[in-house]
C-alpha cells in the first residue's frame, strides 16, 4: 500500500525523502513524488513508475529545502498517472498532502467543495484533504488539521506541509500506520520503521486518532481533540544491515537464507520462557486463530500442533471471513491473531471485535509497536527482523516456531520438545545447502502455466503456502490442495501437462500420500516431490525429487517449506520478474 515519509531537519530533505522512499518500495507502488518547501514555496515533483524515475527528474536541481514529504502511491482511486500521484496540493499551491488509505466519503466532500467553486485536478480521494485543510486554514496548520479530521470517514494516514509555516509537518494516523522517528536536531515521520532505520532507531508509533506536530527540533503529539499526549519513544532492536540486501540479488532470497538464524533467534526466547503468559492455554474453552495470507497458513500448521498437544478445540479462520461470519465468541475463548506487520486491517478489526465480545486476544506480530501489538491483550514477537520482500518467508517460519512453542508449553516434558525445536535451524541450513539443485528442478517448470500443490496433515498448509509463493511472484497459476481431496475434483485437471508438486515427508499420512501420487501418475501427471532425502520409494515415483533431512513429523513444515520458497523464487527470477515487489501486491494490506 502507499508509503509516506516526512523530514524536518537541517540536511537537504530531498536526499532523506528519496532514501526513505526507496526503503518503502517493498510496500508496493505505481508512482512516487515529493513536496519540498523550497525558498518559501511548495515545490512538487512526481513520476509514474519506479523511484529511479523520480530521482532522474530531480537530478541536477539545486534543492536546498530541509523540510518535505514524500510518497509512494498504490492506486486505489484514479488510475496510476502523474496527475493522480501524490503529493496533492490545494488550489493556491501552498498546501501539500501525502496520504495512505481511503477517504470513504470523498465523493460527498468533493461535491461540497466543488459547489464552493473549488476545482479538482486529480481523480483521487486525497485531493479533498488538501482543499479541506486550505478551507480551514487560519494561520495554524495543526488547528486546520484538527478541524478537518472529524470530516473524514475511512481508514487513513496523511502528512501535510504548508509554505506559510515552512518549519513543520503535521501528520495524522487514523487506521493506517504512521510512525515518528526522533533524531538529533532532525525528526522524521513514515509509514513504517524500515524507512527510518538509516536515520534513527528511536521510534514513536502513533495510535489511531493521534496527530503529530513535527518540527526540526520538536515533536508534539495530540489526540483528535487537540489535547497534548505524552508518549515515550521505543528503541527498535533492528539495525540498518538487517534491512539491506547484503549481497543477495533480492531481499526475498536473503530472507529465505536468513531463516536458520531467524528461527534460532525466535526459539531462544521461547526456550528460556522469556515470554511467559499469565494464563494456561488449556484453561480456555477453545482457541480461535485469525490471520490472512501466509500468516493464515502458519496458523493452520499451528492448529494441528495445538489440537494434538492441548487437546482443546482449535479453529483457524481467515480474518477477512471471521468479521462477517457471526462466529460466536465469548470470554472463554482465546483468539490468537497472527500478523507479520501487525497492521493488516482484516486481522486487526477481527481481533478488536473478538475482544469486544469478551475473548482474550493474544497476537503474534513481527513489528513491535504496530497497531495489533497495541490493541491486543498480550503480544508475542516473532523476532524475524524487518521483512522487506513482499512475499513473506522468514516470518512464516518464525511464526511456526512461536506456535509450536505455545502448543507444547504446558507439557511436563516440554524441554524435550524445545530441544527438538532447537535442532531445526541446523537442518534448515542443510536444506539451503541444496539451493542449486532446487534451482535446477525449478527451472524445468518455469514455462508452465498451471501447477497443483498437494500435501496432507501438516504438509497441507505447506502446500498452500508453496502455491501462494508461486502465484505471487511468478504469476503462474498454482493451486494448493489437501492431497486426500484431490480425487474429489482437482483430479480432473491432471494430464501429461500438469506438474503436481507433492509435499510428502515420511509422516503418519505418508502411505496415503503415496497412493495419491499413484493416482496422479496413472493420469500421466508430472510429480515433483519434496520429502526425506533417503526416501528411495519417493525418488522412484517422482519425476523430480527435492530431499530434506529426516526429522520428527511435527517439525517437517520448517524444512519442507524452504524448497517451495526457493522453487518460486528461482522461477520468478528466471522469468525476469520483480521478485521483491510483485505486481498488484502490497506488503502491508491496510484496506479491508
Q: Which of 472, 535, 544, 580 binds ligand F6R (CB under 6 A)?
A: 472
Of 5, 29, 25, 30, nearest to 15 (Cα)?
5
Asked if 427 is part of the footprint of ligand F6R (rule: CB under 6 A), the reply reads no
**Residue among 46, 47, 254, 587 flagged as catalytic:** 587
* Nearer to ligand F6R among residue 264 and residue 293 (C-beta): 293
Q: Which of 66, 340, 363, 459 binds ligand F6R (CB under 6 A)?
A: 340
- In the complex, the smallest distance separating the C-beta of residue 317 from ligand F6R, rounded to whole angstroms, is 14
- In the complex, the smallest distance separating the C-beta of residue 82 from ligand F6R, rounded to whole angstroms, is 29
Indicate the SS3 state at residue 317.
Answer: strand
Asked if 266 is part of the footprint of ligand F6R (rule: CB under 6 A), the reply reads no
Q: How far apart are CA 404 and CA 555, in angstroms?
A: 9
* Nearer to ligand F6R among residue 187 and residue 588 (C-beta): 588
DSSP H stretches of helix in 528-555: 536-541
Residue 417 is placed in which grid cell? 520438545
Mention every residue, 6+ apart, whose C-beta is less than 8 A from residue 108.
none
- In the complex, the smallest distance separating the C-beta of residue 288 from ligand F6R, rounded to whole angstroms, is 16
Q: How far apart are CA 120 and CA 123, in angstroms?
A: 8
* Nearer to ligand F6R among residue 259 and residue 344 (C-beta): 344
* Nearer to ligand F6R among residue 292 and residue 500 (C-beta): 292
Indicate left, alpha or beta for 435 from its phi (over 0: left) and psi (-120 to 50: alpha): alpha
3-state secondary structure 329-340: CCCCEEEEEEEC
Of 194, 189, 195, 171, nearest to 20 (Cα)?
195
Tell the burial category of 444 from Cβ atoms under 10 Å away from its Cβ (0-12, 13-18, 19+).
Answer: middle
| Widest pairwise Cα distance in the chain | 78
Asked if 155 is part of the footprint of ligand F6R (rule: CB under 6 A), the reply reads no
- In the complex, the smallest distance separating the C-beta of residue 353 from ligand F6R, rounded to whole angstroms, is 16
Asked if 392 is part of the footprint of ligand F6R (rule: CB under 6 A), the reply reads yes
Indicate the SS3 state at residue 36.
Answer: strand
Range 18-77, binding ligand F6R (CB under 6 A): none
- In the complex, the smallest distance separating the C-beta of residue 392 from ligand F6R, rounded to whole angstroms, is 4
Total interface residues for ligand F6R by CB under 6 A: 14
Query: Is residue 481 within 8 Å of residue 502, measured between CB atoms?
Result: no
The DSSP element (H or E) to which 591 belongs, if any, is none
Range 281-300, binding ligand F6R (CB under 6 A): 292-295
Q: Is 587 part of the annotated catalytic residue set?
A: yes
* Nearer to ligand F6R among residue 160 and residue 365 (C-beta): 365
Backbone φ and ψ of 478, nearest 5°: -140, 140
Q: Which of 391, 462, 503, 541 binds ligand F6R (CB under 6 A)?
A: 391
Q: How far apart are CA 496 and CA 493, in angstroms?
A: 10
**Residue among 2, 46, 159, 471 flagged as catalytic:** 2
Of 106, 104, 137, nearest to 122 (Cα)?
106
* Nearer to ligand F6R among residue 152 and residue 298 (C-beta): 298
Residue 534 is placed in which grid cell? 533417503
**One symbol per residue from 343 to 362: x for binding ligand F6R (CB under 6 A), - otherwise; what is it?**
-x--x---------------
* Nearer to ligand F6R among residue 133 and residue 319 (C-beta): 319
Asked if 341 is part of the footprint of ligand F6R (rule: CB under 6 A), the reply reads yes
> Where in 13-94 does DSSP place strands (E)?
31-38, 41-48, 67-73, 88-89
- In the complex, the smallest distance separating the C-beta of residue 2 from ligand F6R, rounded to whole angstroms, is 15
* Binding residues vs ligand F6R (CB under 6 A): 292-295, 339-341, 344, 347, 391-392, 468, 472, 589
Q: Which residues participate in catalysis according to the annotation?
A: 2, 587
Amino acid at each position: 500500500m502507499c508509503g509516506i515519509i516526512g523530514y524536518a531537519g537541517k540536511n537537504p530533505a530531498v536526499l532523506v525523502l528519496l532514501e526513505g522512499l526507496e526503503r518503502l518500495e517493498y510496500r508496493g507502488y505505481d508512482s512516487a513524488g515529493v513536496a519540498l518547501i523550497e525558498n518559501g514555496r511548495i515545490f512538487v515533483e512526481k513520476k509514474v513508475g519506479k523511484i529511479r524515475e523520480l530521482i532522474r527528474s530531480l537530478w541536477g536541481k539545486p534543492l536546498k529545502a530541509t523540510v518535505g514529504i514524500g510518497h509512494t502511491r498504490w492506486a486505489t482511486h484514479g488510475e496510476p498517472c502523474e496527475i493522480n500521484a501524490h503529493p496533492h496540493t490545494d488550489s493556491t499551491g501552498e498546501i501539500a498532502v501525502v496520504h495512505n488509505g481511503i477517504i470513504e466519503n470523498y465523493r460527498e466532500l468533493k461535491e461540497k467543495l466543488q459547489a464552493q467553486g473549488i476545482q479538482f485536478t486529480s481523480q483521487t480521494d486525497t485531493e479533498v484533504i488538501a482543499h479541506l485543510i486550505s478551507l480551514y486554514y487560519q494561520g495554524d496548520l495543526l488547528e486546520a488539521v484538527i478541524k478537518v479530521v472529524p470530516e473524514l470517514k475511512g481508514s487513513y494516514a496523511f502528512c501535510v506541509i504548508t509554505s506559510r509555516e515552512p518549519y513543520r509537518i503535521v501528520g495524522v494516523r487514523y487506521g493506517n500506520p504512521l510512525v515518528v522517528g526522533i533524531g538529533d536536531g532532525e525528526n522524521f515521520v513514515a509509514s513504517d520503521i524500515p524507512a527510518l532505520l538509516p536515520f534513527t532507531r528511536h521510534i514513536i508509533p502513533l495510535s489511531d486518532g493521534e496527530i503529530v506536530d513535527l518540527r526540526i527540533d520538536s515533536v508534539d503529539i495530540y489526540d483528535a481533540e487537540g489535547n497534548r499526549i505524552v508518549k515515550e519513544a521505543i528503541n527498535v532492536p533492528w539495525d540498518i544491515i538487517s534491512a539491506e540486501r547484503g549481497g543477495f540479488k533480492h531481499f526475498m532470497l536473503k530472507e529465505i537464507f536468513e531463516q536458520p538464524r531467524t528461527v534460532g533467534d525466535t526459539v531462544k526466547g521461547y526456550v528460556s520462557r522469556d515470554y511467559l503468559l499469565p494464563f494456561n492455554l488449556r484453561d480456555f474453552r477453545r482457541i480461535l486463530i485469525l490471520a490472512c495470507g501466509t500468516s493464515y497458513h502458519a496458523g493452520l500448521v499451528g492448529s494441528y500442533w495445538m489440537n494434538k498437544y492441548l487437546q482443546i478445540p482449535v479453529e483457524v479462520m481467515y480474518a477477512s471471513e471471521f468479521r462477517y461470519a457471526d462466529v460466536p465468541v465469548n470470554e472463554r475463548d482465546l483468539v490468537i491473531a497472527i500478523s507479520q506487520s501487525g497492521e493488516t486491517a482484516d486481522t486487526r478489526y477481527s481481533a478488536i471485535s473478538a475482544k469486544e465480545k469478551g475473548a482474550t486476544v493474544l497476537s503474534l506480530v513481527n513489528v513491535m509497536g504496530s497497531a495489533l501489538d497495541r490493541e491486543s491483550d498480550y503480544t508475542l514477537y516473532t523476532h524475524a527482523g524487518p521483512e522487506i520482500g513482499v512475499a513473506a518467508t522468514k516470518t512464516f517460519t518464525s511464526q511456526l516456531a512461536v506456535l509450536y512453542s505455545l502448543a507444547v508449553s504446558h507439557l511436563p516434558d516440554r524441554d524435550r520438545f524445545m530441544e527438538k525445536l532447537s535442532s531445526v535451524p541446523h537442518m534448515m541450513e542443510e536444506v539451503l545447502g541444496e539451493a542449486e539443485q532446487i534451482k535446477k528442478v525449478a527451472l524445468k517448470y518455469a514455462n508452465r502455466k498451471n501447477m497443483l500443490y498437494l500435501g496432507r496433515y501438516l504438509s497441507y498448509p505447506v502446500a498452500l503456502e508453496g502455491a501462494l509463493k508461486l502465484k505471487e511472484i511468478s504469476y503462474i497459476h498454482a493451486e494448493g490442495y489437501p492431497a486426500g481431496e484431490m480425487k474429489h475434483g482437482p483430479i480432473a485437471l491432471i494430464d501429461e501437462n500438469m506438474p503436481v508438486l507433492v509435499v510428502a515427508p515420511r509422516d503418519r499420512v505418508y502411505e496415503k500420500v503415496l497412493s495419491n501420487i499413484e493416482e496422479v501418475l496413472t493420469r500421466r501427471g508430472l510429480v515433483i516431490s519434496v520429502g526425506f532425502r533417503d526416501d528411495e520409494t519417493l525418488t522412484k515415483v517422482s519425476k523430480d525429487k527435492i530431499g530434506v533431512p529426516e526429522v520428527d513429523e511435527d517439525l517437517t513444515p520448517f524444512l519442507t517449506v524452504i524448497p517451495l520458497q526457493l522453487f518460486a523464487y528461482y522461477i520468478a527470477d528466471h522469468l525476469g520478474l520483480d521478485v521483491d515487489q510483485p505486481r498488484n501486491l502490497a506488503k502491508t494490506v491496510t484496506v479491508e
